[in-house]
């Protein structure tokens, strides 16, 4: 066993206080503060573990170059920025932190849904412009009794379903990968076919991971299946929605309003989305609270410690592709 392990944080962090509390006795910590794969290849050649946030993409090229890396911890839920199969072929276990910001993202999705329904931002702007006209909110529907569709019912989707129920909405879910009976546990309805689900979703909240199956799961065809005047909220992954198709559906009036915490390409460069009067935007911040961010960092560092000290990881996501693992996984 080496005297000191090397743990490298690729992106996002400018200090490492929480990580040091957990790893300082066994590892040296380096903050790269980069989103460049070339930088990672050049500066992390001695790394045993990488801690990666959502701005950093790791492809086959970096997996091949980082011959010492035994594990990559994606500090967050989604791991579509890491090539799982490439890592697995080289014995690198990839883990995520799936249970840190459930409440925050669900709260954010609910907030966005209420904001666009109650015309919160136009009302605020109207008052700031010197007006006092309640008609700016006219057309807002009552939420109680309306149908909220949850697309993807993992931890966050389930939390959003419970929030929808709490304000009196009828909640339907679509998730072909969850076991039978989840809907009974939540007290909601489950719809087996995507098209049938979308036809009922007056309010649609996305909570699915980004996969080849879910990329552009909302496109021109599927958006057209939503009820006339539907509301769309996305706190999952930007590419789950075809941005051009969403703009067209908003311009046509088929979708009333949309609220997006994530977009296809981040940072946002699409001016059609940035300036659209019927889209409310937040900058991929749904995950954040003081407590949630600390929880994410702590759990990511704890996973790294487990892997470095010979314990199996809690949340591996590429066991299906893993061969000749460089560390213990079971």
Domains along the sequence of the chain with CATH = 5-100+290-321 (3.40.50.720), 102-281 (3.40.50.720)
Cβ-defined contacts of 155-158 (< 8 Å, 24+)? 155/98, 155/99, 155/102, 156/77, 156/101, 156/102, 156/105, 156/106, 156/109, 156/207, 156/235, 157/205, 157/207, 157/208, 158/182, 158/186
- Rounded mean pLDDT of 125-131? 98
The string of DSSP codes covering 84-125 is HHHHHHTT-EEEE-TTSSHHHHHHHHHHHHHHHHTTHHHHHH
Q: Are 273 and 255 in contact (CB under 8 A)?
A: no
- Residue numbers annotated as active site: 237, 266, 284
Helix/strand number for the chain, H first, E second? 13, 12
Residue 47: the pLDDT is 98
**Average pLDDT, whole number, for the chain?**
97
Q: pTM for the whole thing?
A: 0.94
- Rounded mean pLDDT of 293-297? 97
Residue 6: the pLDDT is 98
Say how far apart CA 330 and CA 328 lie, in whole Å: 6
pLDDT at 87 over 90: yes
pLDDT at 302 over 90: yes
Please state the three-class secondary structure of 196-230 as a single string.
HHHHHCCEEEECCCCCCCCCCCECHHHHHHCCCCE
pLDDT at 1 over 80: no
Q: How confident is residue 2, by pLDDT bands cut at 50, 70 and 90?
A: low
């Amino acid at each position: 066993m080496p005297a000191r392990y090397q743990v490298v944080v690729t992106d996002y962090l400018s200090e490492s206080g929480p990580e040091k509390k957990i790893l300082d006795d066994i590892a040296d910590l380096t903050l790269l503060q980069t989103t460049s794969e070339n930088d990672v290849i050049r500066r992390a050649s001695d790394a045993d573990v990488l801690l990666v946030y959502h701005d950093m993409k790791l492809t086959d090229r970096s997996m091949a170059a980082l011959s010492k890396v035994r594990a990559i911890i994606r500090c967050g839920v989604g791991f579509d920025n890491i090539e799982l199969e490439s890592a697995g072929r080289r014995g690198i276990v990839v883990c995520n932190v799936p249970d840190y910001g459930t409440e925050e993202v669900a709260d954010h999705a609910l907030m966005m849904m209420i904001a666009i329904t109650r015309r919160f931002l136009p009302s605020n702007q109207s008052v700031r412009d010197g007006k006092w006209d309640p008609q700016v909110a006219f057309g807002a529907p009552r939420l109680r009794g309306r149908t909220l569709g949850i697309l993807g019912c993992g931890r966050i989707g389930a939390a959003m379903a419970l929030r929808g129920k709490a304000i009196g909405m009828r909640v339907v879910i679509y998730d072909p990968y969850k076991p039978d009976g989840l809907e009974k546990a939540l007290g909601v309805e489950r719809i087996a076919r995507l098209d049938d689900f979308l036809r009922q979703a007056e309010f649609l909240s996305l909570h699915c991971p980004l996969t080849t199956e879910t990329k552009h799961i909302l496109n021109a065809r599927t958006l057209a299946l939503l009820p006339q005047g539907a509301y769309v909220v996305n706190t999952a992954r930007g590419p789950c929605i075809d941005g051009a198709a969403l703009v067209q559906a908003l311009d046509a009036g088929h979708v009333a309003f949309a609220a997006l915490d994530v977009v296809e390409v981040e940072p946002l460069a699409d001016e059609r989305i940035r300036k659209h009067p019927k889209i409310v935007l937040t900058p991929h911040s749904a995950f954040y609270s003081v407590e949630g961010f600390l929880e994410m960092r702590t759990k990511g560092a704890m996973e790294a410690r487990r892997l470095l000290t010979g314990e199996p990881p809690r949340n591996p996501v590429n066991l299906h592709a893993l061969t000749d693992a460089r560390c213990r996984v079971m």
